[in-house]
Amino acid sequence: MHLVAPIAYLGFFAVAAVPLILYLLYRRRKRDVDWGATYILRRTLKREAKKSLWKQIAIIAVRTLAFIALPLVFLRPYLDWQPPAGGAFAAAPPSTHRLVLLDLSPSMGATHGSGGRLEAALGLCRKILEATHHPGRIDILPLDGGQEPIVHEQRPVSDIEIEQILGMLELSTVPADFEQGLRVALQQFRASHYPHKELILLSDFSAADLKHGGRFAGTVQALDKIGAKVFCLSYENRVADNFALLDMTPGMDLLLSGQPTIFYVRVGYYGSRPAAQTWLSIRNSSGELLIEQALSLAPGDKTFQVPLSLAGGEQTLTAALSDDDLAYDNRLERSYHVSDRLQLALVQNLDLREGFDNPSTWIKTAFAPQKAGGAETRSIFQLEHVREQAMLKGHDHLVKQTLNNTVQPEQYRTIVDAVVTSQASADFFKDKDGVILVDVDTVTEELEQALYKYVVRGGTLLLAPGPNADPDTFNQTLRRLLPAQLAPPAVEQIDPDIYQHAILEFAGNPILRELEALDHGNIGNTRFYNGYRIADNSMADKADVLFVLSDNAPLLLHRRIGRGSALLWTAGLGGEWHSMVVHPVYPVLVARLFNLAASQRRFALNLEPGAPIVRKTDSQTARISLPDGDEQTIRSVAVGSSRFVRFDHTQAPGTYTLYPYQGNREILFRYHVPQDRRESDYRPLGGQSRSELEQLIHSPLYHREADLVHAVGATYEGSSLASLAALALLLLLVLEVGLIRKWFT
């Protein structure tokens, strides 16, 4: 039992002294009486001696209790709070504003003990809603970055309302935003007129949550200042064991049908074991199992190379891991354009040089068709071929896939059409995946216009001025397409003993990075004796350097123009200034560059959140199915002679299925917005992080509901005894009067 304001005792004693003083001042003195019936008096005293003693003790006890009850009435004592029976939540006292911050991040979908974390959290929310007996307010705010809590001010909450509220609480696709949630809670509490404020935080408090949760120390301090009490219940698993499919990208952005391609599958393991195994399976659009293999991982993430060969068209691959505690990150869908072949246009001035003096010969040779069993026909593309064969040897499934998917087995998949500048036109470029401008330093205005239009619409142009090019003319003629202004070559006369090496400057793309690997040719081994320099401060907007020479001179530059890009190779594609033409990396480099560039000609199927879905169509309207199951109608827009549909609301992760032709649901295209997989790492906080968090929020992290209920209830005063004390005082006074009347009057 507690007594509030013990200092009130002083006042109580002062008040209690008043009747004593009055008694002492006005007490009646003893009187003397001559008595004739002392015989009766003695008999009475003898008989009543013991009985009267007990009666007096009883009266004194009653008066003492009344004396004790009197201050209790004013000091408002209360009993310690007792936990409710049946696992119910602690009922809030009147005028309490209770706000529940509910973590609905994907990691809350993990199993927790015998059930799911979310089910446990919703069960607790139900108990909290049911434990509303007094006027007050209860808000439930999902920690998904939202601003508006689910508010309920009327109490008690009916069962139907509870079901409605709980029905609105579903797993989100974004990580928990503690900072935003606490800020909203602070705003709600500041606007609240209820004196008692409780903040209950239900989350798994994973390391990932707090890593990205931001800094909310200030918000917690502000909550402290306004008197809000913070309680946290953690739904963490002591032993977390989760695999997550983080990413799946192909080794080449432009996939060719029947061409074995390395897919880089990044898998994460977040657990307490030193190593764990899971199964990876990948299926294509028709559900056919492409590969299934066991993976062994240590904690952290690891990228696995999975060779696959896909059929032409747009293919959707579904990768899946074995079931584990957290299901949302075990599946990953990606769609890819798979082209039947790569078509390049080789444009150069009329060049009468023959053989390997002509740079086009090197390019044509590099992409010459590979005959079946082509050991007898030497191809400079042999390295890629050998690598492909090696891949086939190690993976039986690929042999079958390659044979099934190859459209033209007798011809390799890259076609090079060579024309002179006078024959080149916009129509010629229309179907080409890339255009190579070799040894051309000036073009007609029409050709420049055609090239510019081609690039803006997504084409890739590789500019490779030869040793005889005039930089000024080149800069003047192709100024709209150049990543940078060309300057004169480094040296006028080549010295065979002085050469440079190529170094990858732009390391962000793994495809280009492979070029430095031994089994991909090792571009670092090539020798560059000369090359054009880049004029100072002439880099265009959206231009960057992909390769540099060892003397830091740019070798390959890249510039985004519209949806396409222009590449500038400063050392010429012939053999005059470098040894790359006779090096195995030469066709690989060219192929990779065009693969990289050609993929940009098509609208992306795997989108970043918010990136638009664009698709060419002939129909006036199209339908799109959203990740949440809703469908919307999109009107197509005419652009030139074509019509396009565009859908911009792709913030929600998941698969968007576009039906470009109204009424024909057989033609469909899938677009994928990746889910945030930060929540996959739901390992519990370490001891230090936990204590830091507990210090930050000024509250321990409870693991059991009962502990939380007890912690919440421990802050309550419990049952007030004031009314009980008043009633007891009244009863005692009545009892005292009654006993006096019964015994002594």
**Residues engaged in binding other proteins (CB under 8 A):** 28-45, 47-48, 51-52, 55-56, 742-745
The DSSP string of 329-379 is TSEEEEEEEEES-EEEEEEE------GGGSHHHHHHHHTPPPPTTTTSS--
Q: Which C-beta is closer to other proteins: that of 12 or that of 743?
A: 743
Q: Which C-beta is closer to other proteins: that of 28 or that of 193?
A: 28
CB of 733 to other proteins, least distance (A): 18
Q: How far apart are CA 325 and CA 315, in angstroms?
A: 30
Q: Helix axis angle, 382-394 relative to 396-405, nearest 10°?
A: 120
CB of 707 to other proteins, least distance (A): 57
CB of 40 to other proteins, least distance (A): 5
Tallying the residues shown for the chain, one arrives at: 745
Q: Which C-beta is closer to other proteins: that of 356 or that of 744?
A: 744
Phi/psi at 111 (nearest 5 deg)?
A: -75, 145
Q: How far apart are CA 397 and CA 607, in angstroms?
A: 29
CB of 6 to other proteins, least distance (A): 36
CB of 17 to other proteins, least distance (A): 23
CB of 46 to other proteins, least distance (A): 9
Q: Are 543 and 483 in contact (CB under 8 A)?
A: yes
CB of 48 to other proteins, least distance (A): 4
Tokens representing 553 are 């001179």
Look at residues 137, 226, 158 and name the one whose alpha carbon lies nearest to residue 187: 226
Q: Which C-beta is closer to other proteins: that of 38 or that of 664?
A: 38
CB of 732 to other proteins, least distance (A): 19
CB of 57 to other proteins, least distance (A): 12
Q: Which C-beta is closer to other proteins: that of 42 or that of 704?
A: 42
Look at residues 514, 507, 512, 547 and name the one whose alpha carbon lies nearest to residue 528: 547
Q: Which C-beta is closer to other proteins: that of 53 or that of 714?
A: 53
Burial call 486-499: b when 16+ CB within 10 Å, e when fewer: bbebbeeebeeeeb
Q: Is 473 left (phi over 0), alpha (psi -120 to 50) or beta?
A: alpha
CB of 721 to other proteins, least distance (A): 33
Burial call 548-571: b when 16+ CB within 10 Å, e when fewer: bbeeebbbbbbbbbeebbbbbbbb
Q: Which C-beta is closer to other proteins: that of 28 or that of 238?
A: 28
Q: How far apart are CA 293 and CA 311, in angstroms?
A: 21
Q: Which C-beta is closer to other proteins: that of 48 or that of 80?
A: 48
CB of 26 to other proteins, least distance (A): 12
Q: How far apart are CA 332 and CA 282, in angstroms?
A: 9
| Helical (H) or strand (E) element with 670 | strand 669-673
Q: How far apart are CA 407 and CA 409, in angstroms?
A: 6
Q: Which C-beta is closer to other proteins: that of 59 or that of 626?
A: 59
Q: Which C-beta is closer to other proteins: that of 39 or that of 193?
A: 39
Q: How far apart are CA 586 and CA 579, in angstroms?
A: 9
3-state secondary structure (DSSP) of residue 492:
coil
Q: Which C-beta is closer to other proteins: that of 506 or that of 743?
A: 743
Q: Which C-beta is closer to other proteins: that of 3 or that of 59?
A: 59
CB of 76 to other proteins, least distance (A): 36
Q: Which C-beta is closer to other proteins: that of 43 or that of 698?
A: 43
Q: How far apart are CA 460 and CA 359, in angstroms?
A: 19
CB of 734 to other proteins, least distance (A): 19
Q: Which C-beta is closer to other proteins: that of 215 or that of 742?
A: 742
CB of 227 to other proteins, least distance (A): 55
Q: Are 634 and 622 in contact (CB under 8 A)?
A: yes
| Helical (H) or strand (E) element with 554 | strand 554-561
Q: Are 136 and 194 in contact (CB under 8 A)?
A: yes
Tokens representing 214 are 């931001």
Q: Which C-beta is closer to other proteins: that of 55 or that of 563?
A: 55
3-state secondary structure (DSSP) of residue 743:
helix
Look at residues 482, 479, 473, 429 and name the one whose alpha carbon lies nearest to residue 451: 429
Number of Cα atoms under 13 Å in the Cβ half of residue 57: 6
Q: Which C-beta is closer to other proteins: that of 6 or that of 35?
A: 35
Q: How far apart are CA 518 and CA 531, in angstroms?
A: 25
Look at residues 476, 474, 430 and name the one whose alpha carbon lies nearest to residue 450: 430
CB of 24 to other proteins, least distance (A): 15
CB of 98 to other proteins, least distance (A): 57
Place of tokens 């606490």: 182
Number of Cα atoms under 13 Å in the Cβ half of residue 577: 25
Look at residues 107, 109, 97 and name the one whose alpha carbon lies nearest to residue 141: 97
